[in-house]
Amino acid sequence: MLSRLRDSLSFHRTGLRVLWLLHGLDRALLPALVIDSVVWVAAAYGSLALTALLVNGLMALEWRACAVAAAGIVALNALAGVVGRVCGYHRQDGAWVSWLAFQLLTRKKALALDYETAASPAFQGRIATLDQTVRIKGGLSMIPAAYRAVLESALSIATCVALMAALVAAMPAPEAPLALAASPVASAVLLACAVCALVLGQRAVSRASARVTERFSLGDGAMERRMVYLYDAICHGDGKVERVFGMHDMLLGAFRSVNADSTRFYDRWRAGNRHVAMASNAVNGAFVLAGYLLVAVKVIAGAISVGAFAQYAGALAQLGGAWSELVSRNNDLREHCAYLAEYLDVLDLPEASGRGSVSPEKRDDGEYLLAFEHVSFRYPGSDEEVLHDVTLELGARRKTALVGSNGAGKSTFIKLLCRLYRPTAGRITLNGIDIEKYDEDEYRDLMAVVFQDFRLFAFPVAENLAAGYPRDDSRLWRALAQADAEDFVRAWPDGLETRLYQGLGPGVTPSGGQAQKLALARALYKDASVVILDEPTAALDPISEAEVYEGFDRIVEGRTAVYISHRMSSCRFCDDIVVFDGGRVAERGSHEELLAAGGLYARLWDAQAGYYVG
């Protein structure tokens, strides 16, 4: 019995932990919850007691007592109203602020995880599903409200039990009608039967509610995902594809169909909940009827006054409502805690360990020799190797190009070089030392990277470029000039203070080519010893591309530079060319040497040249 009870209430471990997290974010939230609950219960039962005094005073024509009782009722209700309003506003505002802070906690946790965990499709899908659920079901704001109702119900039940004990113990007049039925023993039996009927009835109602929730919650997530997907597909985006391919009727038809399915689904769910609510009301009604009968017998038998009838009858009605509310709120908490437990699981994920403690040698001459030694790699959760036994040395202060078809392993090579992933086998060294031994942050300080899927943020230009490093405007303008971005930034309304995009307020939306040049400027501003460029000119026209690469020849002088590009023309600027094929190093040499060898590089070169030479 106790084991089943513990299992049925296990969700409170999640709910109470969430409540404690919210308390850590807002220290006034729990006190406001407790004060509001205590004052509400005190006002409710205090008003019942004063009502009894008021009725007795009226019957005895004691006007002074009537006035005192009436004033007390008004004062109690006024106090409850003021406290409820103040605490209610705080609960709502505090819950909202706490929810935002809680969202920040999950994002902070994501940034603290190993990259391979945070970037995994499983984790990204998990976060997306949670955020989508919260968008529709609501977040943490219901947790304080639910526990406030639970606390109120518990206090109300405890107060009722004390009053019922007094009611049962009240002795009838010996010769009064129904004296035997109003005796403490008979009263206790009748009340016990009524309470048992209430508990058993509400237990059956709770089980029915759980069955309804279980039945429909299985399809709830899928229904929500379909609705959210179609809503986003129709309302978000510029609509180019929809217009060109005449997809309006198809999309709207799909939305109407899913909306109709959703309406029928939730109508059935609401109907089930209505039946549960009706059953709960019936159980409460039967209990209140039994309670009124008991109190009426006590009044007739002279055990209590007529005024006390209102107090005890009201208390019994409160008991039924409190128990029903307790059951209902527990069901709500069970449903919400099911997905909030997922958030707590995310917060409990182990953070990235501070791998490595050795500081890389600070060298003014840029002599940083990077080498892959028999490195193989497969992504977590996959059995397919992306890199196979790669042994490769990147010459210090030399420009190396990595080329090959899509999926050949070039970008994965860069991710391993940046310590975003660990090799499955083999090791990577810097000046002969395994890079895993170096302090991770200090190792990455040596590198400036422009990833293929680079990101700019809705911050001012200066913040986008300086990123996590001190701002120096003269260096910013120099980096922009080197990336051929100075002219358009100076032409923008606020220069370096111009905000990009519209996410955090009015801003400028750069073109694809402008965005890529800003990403290049960010890499150049860092002034790192190793520069890595993954498709750095993909959004540029051929003339701009040639200008950028000619500039890079000057910019990266004295640094180790690694380029990834699908445009063979960019390779001519490099000292060394490495050709990847199927996760292996297929060829290596200079542009002229590889052309003369007539291998894969030569075929790639000839294939691209065919686009420009008729």
- In order, the DSSP letters of 449-478 are EE-TT----SSBHHHHHHTTS---HHHHHH
- What are the residues whose beta carbons fall under 8 Å from the beta carbon of 526, sequence distance 6 or more? 448, 467, 469
Query: Please, are residues 94 and 21 in contact by the beta-carbon 8 Å criterion?
Result: no
Helix 306-347, helix 248-300: angle, nearest 10: 140
d(CA 235, CA 334): 33
Q: Could you report how far apart the first and last alpha carbons of the chain are, in Å?
A: 85
C-alpha torsion sign, points 125, 127, 132, 136: positive
Which residue is listed with tokens 């639970």? 150
| Residues of the chain below pLDDT 50 | 1, 611-614
Reduce the secondary structure of 31-59 to three states and give it as a string: HHHHHHHHHHHHHHHHHHHHHHHHHHHHH
Give me 171's structure tokens. Answer: 């002795």
465 CB burial (10 A radius; 0-12, 13-18, 19+): buried
Domain 19-347: CATH architecture, name and number where available: Up-down Bundle (1.20)
Q: Widest CA span of the chain, in angstroms?
A: 124
- As its CATH architecture, domain 370-612 has 3-Layer(aba) Sandwich (3.40)
Asked if residue 272 lies in contact with residue 217, where contact means CB atoms within 8 angstroms, the answer is no
Two tokens at 325? 């509310």
Q: Quick one: pLDDT at residue 578?
A: 92
Structure tokens at 291: 């309670």
CA-closest candidate to residue 457, choices 425, 499, 429: 499
Among residues 152, 158, 143, 154, the alpha carbon closest in space to that of 80 is found at 152
The residues, ordered by sequence, that sit 6+ positions from 9 with a Cβ below 8 Å of its Cβ are: 330
Reduce the DSSP state of residue 509 to 3 states and report it: coil
**pLDDT score at 1:** 46
Cα–Cα dist 329/322, whole Å: 10
Handedness of CA 598, 601, 604, 608 (dihedral sign): negative
Residue 394 β-bridge partners: 370
- The reported pLDDT for the residue numbered 235 is 66
Distance CA 414, CA 487 (A): 31
Phi then psi for 579, rounded to 5 degrees?
-105, 120
pTM for this entry: 0.65
Distance CA 130, CA 342 (A): 8
User: Where do the CATH 3.40.50.300 domains begin and end in the chain?
Assistant: 370-612
Residues of the chain with CATH 1.20.1560.10: 19-347
In eight-state DSSP terms, residue 366 is: -
